[in-house]
Chains A and B, each alone.
Chain A
Amino acid sequence: MVPLNWYLILSAAVFSIGVFGFLTRRNIIIMFMSLELMLNAVNISLVAFSHYLQDLRGHVLVFFIITVAAAEASIGLAIIIALFKNKNTVHVDEMNEMKG
């Protein structure tokens, strides 16, 4: 039997990789994919917890996370396309419209 901690550490590793990708990549699409990576990391830990606790609520949560991820992906990618049409770039370090 695989101990729970293994899954959790796997989840932490994937999450950290996602964070690293989000913080470093210039391409906004890859940043977006890093975000999906982080969501998946959380899903892994939720499913693992659910299994070891013999409780299905974790699965329900995963279900909702996937729903939100789908919504987020559709909106986010639409925004990216709009952005690209305006700025002709997907490199976030070339945009500073939010500068105060």
Chain B
Amino acid sequence: MQYYLLIPFLPFAAFIINILFGRKIIKDNAHWVSTLAVAGSWIVSVMTLMDVLSGLSVNQNLYTWMLSGNFKVSVGFLIDQLTAVMLIVVTTCSTLIHIYSIGYMHGDKGYYRFFSYLSLFTFCMLMLVMANNFLQLYFGWEGVGLCSYFLIGYYFDKKSASDAGKKAFIVNRFGDFGFGIGIFMIFITFGTTYYDEVFSQAAGHALTRVNFLGFDVHLMTLIALLLFCGSIGKSAQMPLHVWLPDAMEGPTPVSALIHAATMVTAGVFLVARCNPIFSLSETALIVVAMTGAITSLFAATIGLVQNDLKRIIAYSTVSQLGYMFLACGVGAYTAGVFHLYTHAFFKALLFLCAGSVMHAMGGELNIQKMGSLKKFMPITYWTMLLASLSIAGVPGLAGFFSKDEILWLAYSGASPVGKIVWAMGTLVAFLTAFYSFRLIFLTFHGRFRGTHEQEHHLHESPKTMTVPLMILCVGAVASGWVGIPHLVGGGAHFTEFMKPVLGHAEGHGTHAEEWMVMAISVAVGFSGIGLAYFMYVLRPELPGIVTQRFLAVHKVLFNKYYIDELYSFLIIRPTIWVAKNVLIGVTDARVIEAIVNGVPSAIGGFSRQLRKMQTGLLHNYATITAMGIFIIAAVMLLRNW
């Protein structure tokens, strides 16, 4: 038996057990089932990583899921370097967040439900990353979307939460529609959905052009962009980013697990996994890079002025995901996955710290009403500070290495838009440092601006919450050390490790240039922190003045560029208008109702007439039978003649 099968199926078993027995039998012990299962997965994942490090690679079909003509889909597993890294990311974050949830969700009435969803999510996510074909990937993809919907709307009695869940689900439909068509195109083109077969044949189609909806397009560009549609939705990129900030309505562990560390990075994983396809299309790569860069900049600017603790981190997530796409778009898939990996730690940590703050503040999320929390919750403060330093790109921490690699490869790579996205990325690095430390300074420094009641309530979180924070903090600091570039004396092990799957993007530049890029990124990081310190600690009156000076800009940023309003005006209101006036008014009332009511009444009327034949008199029946015999005999006779 191959033990790696345990990785997805342990959480699945936990889900089944919790959903079946959670309500009546297990109740407040639900966390044992789920946490132990996920921890088991983590152990097996580590063993799998060891195997992969020693050169193992598995591509095996487990079970034929469907077979129709030449269309064959299996439940199968592909274990290679990329999968191994994703497994570590998913199971580590998942395990720690499960442990954290024990404290965070304590006493909630849907305790078992929360843990069963969390386990189901983990199962789907693992199926997604371990798939060896596109359809199973799609299964996992939709499965995590479903769990995301469940968990965003976990507090379903709160309208904003259930609305946010629906929004996430519906917005994702747009992306998944393209993704689905992309898979159809892959099947039509290659006649298979298995990665290995598709990728080995992809190069043969490098020049193929097809007619798509009347346009003559380059096949690989088409497929890549359709797949990228799915990524845009799942990873909350422009223009489908609107769901992610709203998704913060869910419980904070969910935000940390699904909407920071794992699910939203599935889009990046998809692009990285399909790199043989993307690499064949320069257009697609440029689209990916520009989407990533624009989203990154766009979300970072919104993050500057928001006051909601979790939303700032959510915009930060969108921005960092943009960074990963930027990396993939310039061909540096390794750097993108590396950033995915480091980001998972520090962003999950940021969210869990935010959860810890919320816990202490009694659910308060407005950072303008916080302050001076440093002395009340030291562990949360220090871990969050380290996470922020990491995301700001302070040398030596995880975020620095991955971000620096992205910026260097963007600057020096072969991509035609490399220099532009490098400039944008550098600007984003500055903004990221600024808003991250704005958050830190407003939350933990200065004086407390909340109510007296809240001040009395302030306390450090319980052990089950702080211990995962500290473990993740180690990840946020040290996870980047596996990818220290050659320039500063490291071994770039991560890049070497990923080479068989993701290829190796070479930077074309001198050491001097590389030093320069690194220096600039460090400089902007520190200046962002410095500016935040200046504005929010030294001169706390300054932000108000700046806001007054640039009132219009502030308003646009504060309202998130009015994107939600724009969608509401362009899509939602016309849709509702059509639904109300056309679908309900005409289609439903005149057509469907008419059919629905007409058919039964016609049947009823006919039956009332038909009932009259049912006299109950034997002779009538006998007569009809005899007539039937006569007719049959006559027909047979006439046919034979």
Residue positions of A touching B, CB distance < 8 A: 19, 22-24, 28, 31, 92-93, 95-100
Bound-state CA distance A93–B622 (Å) is 12
CB contacts (< 8 Å) of B622 on chain A: these are: 22-23
Distance in Å: Cβ of B360 to nearest Cβ of chain A: 74
Among A19, A93, A99, A100, the residue within 8 A (CB) of B619 is: A93
Bound-state CA distance A23–B618 (Å) is 9
Bound-state CA distance A19–B624 (Å) is 12
Interface of A, secondary structure class, is helix
Distance in Å: Cβ of B578 to nearest Cβ of chain A: 47
What residue in chain A is nearest B612 (Cβ atoms)?
Answer: A100
CB contacts (< 8 Å) of A95 on chain B: these are: 616-618
Bound-state CA distance A28–B626 (Å) is 17
A23 touching B626, Cβ below 8 Å: yes
Given contacts A97-B616, A99-B616, 4 further A-B contacts (CB under 8 A): A24-B619, A92-B619, A98-B614, A100-B616
CB contacts (< 8 Å) of B618 on chain A: these are: 28, 31, 92-93, 95, 98
CB contacts (< 8 Å) of A19 on chain B: these are: 626
Known: A19-B626, A22-B622. A100 touches B611 (CB 8 A): yes
Is B640 close to A, CB under 8 A?
Answer: no
Is B68 close to A, CB under 8 A?
Answer: no
| Count of interface residues, chain B, beta-carbon cutoff 8 Å | 11
A92 touching B617, Cβ below 8 Å: yes
Is B70 close to A, CB under 8 A?
Answer: no
Bound-state CA distance A97–B617 (Å) is 8
Is B623 close to A, CB under 8 A?
Answer: yes
What residue in chain B is nearest A100 (Cβ atoms)?
Answer: B614
CB contacts (< 8 Å) of B510 on chain A: these are: none
Distance in Å: Cβ of B424 to nearest Cβ of chain A: 79
Distance in Å: Cβ of A91 to nearest Cβ of chain B: 10
CB contacts (< 8 Å) of A96 on chain B: these are: 615-617
Interface of B, secondary structure class, is helix
A23 touching B623, Cβ below 8 Å: yes
Distance in Å: Cβ of A86 to nearest Cβ of chain B: 15
Distance in Å: Cβ of A28 to nearest Cβ of chain B: 8
Distance in Å: Cβ of B171 to nearest Cβ of chain A: 56
Residue positions of B touching A, CB distance < 8 A: 611, 614-619, 621-623, 626
What residue in chain A is nearest B611 (Cβ atoms)?
Answer: A100
Bound-state CA distance A98–B622 (Å) is 13
CB contacts (< 8 Å) of A93 on chain B: these are: 617-619
Bound-state CA distance A23–B628 (Å) is 13
Q: List 26 A-B contacts (CB under 8 A).
A: A19-B626, A22-B622, A22-B626, A23-B619, A23-B622, A23-B626, A24-B619, A31-B618, A92-B617, A93-B617, A93-B618, A93-B619, A95-B616, A95-B617, A95-B618, A96-B615, A96-B616, A96-B617, A97-B616, A98-B614, A98-B616, A98-B618, A99-B616, A100-B611, A100-B614, A100-B616
Distance in Å: Cβ of B619 to nearest Cβ of chain A: 6
Distance in Å: Cβ of B622 to nearest Cβ of chain A: 6
Bound-state CA distance A20–B187 (Å) is 70
Distance in Å: Cβ of B632 to nearest Cβ of chain A: 14
CB contacts (< 8 Å) of A23 on chain B: these are: 619, 622-623, 626
Distance in Å: Cβ of B609 to nearest Cβ of chain A: 12
User: What 10 A-B pairs are tightest by C-beta distance, nearest first?
Assistant: A99-B616, A96-B616, A100-B614, A98-B616, A92-B618, A96-B617, A23-B622, A100-B611, A23-B623, A19-B626
What residue in chain A is nearest B614 (Cβ atoms)?
Answer: A100
Bound-state CA distance A98–B620 (Å) is 11
CB contacts (< 8 Å) of B626 on chain A: these are: 19, 22-23
What residue in chain B is nearest A99 (Cβ atoms)?
Answer: B616
CB contacts (< 8 Å) of A22 on chain B: these are: 622, 626
CB contacts (< 8 Å) of B614 on chain A: these are: 98-100
Bound-state CA distance A23–B621 (Å) is 9
CB contacts (< 8 Å) of A31 on chain B: these are: 618
Bound-state CA distance A100–B15 (Å) is 53
Distance in Å: Cβ of A41 to nearest Cβ of chain B: 14
Distance in Å: Cβ of B228 to nearest Cβ of chain A: 64
CB contacts (< 8 Å) of B623 on chain A: these are: 23
Bound-state CA distance A98–B619 (Å) is 12
Bound-state CA distance A100–B620 (Å) is 13
CB contacts (< 8 Å) of A24 on chain B: these are: 619
CB contacts (< 8 Å) of B619 on chain A: these are: 23-24, 92-93
What residue in chain B is nearest A92 (Cβ atoms)?
Answer: B618
What residue in chain A is nearest B630 (Cβ atoms)?
Answer: A19
Distance in Å: Cβ of B633 to nearest Cβ of chain A: 11
Bound-state CA distance A41–B202 (Å) is 79
CB contacts (< 8 Å) of A28 on chain B: these are: 618
What residue in chain B is nearest A25 (Cβ atoms)?
Answer: B619
What residue in chain B is nearest A97 (Cβ atoms)?
Answer: B616
Bound-state CA distance A95–B621 (Å) is 13
The listed residue with most A CB atoms (<10 A of its CB), out of B611, B615, B618, B626, is: B618
Bound-state CA distance A19–B626 (Å) is 8
Bound-state CA distance A99–B614 (Å) is 5
What residue in chain A is nearest B629 (Cβ atoms)?
Answer: A19
CB contacts (< 8 Å) of B621 on chain A: these are: 98
Distance in Å: Cβ of B314 to nearest Cβ of chain A: 66
CB contacts (< 8 Å) of A98 on chain B: these are: 614, 616, 618, 621
Distance in Å: Cβ of A85 to nearest Cβ of chain B: 18
Bound-state CA distance A93–B620 (Å) is 10
Bound-state CA distance A96–B616 (Å) is 4
Bound-state CA distance A100–B610 (Å) is 10
CB contacts (< 8 Å) of A92 on chain B: these are: 617-619
Distance in Å: Cβ of B389 to nearest Cβ of chain A: 84
CB contacts (< 8 Å) of B617 on chain A: these are: 92-93, 95-96
CB contacts (< 8 Å) of B611 on chain A: these are: 100
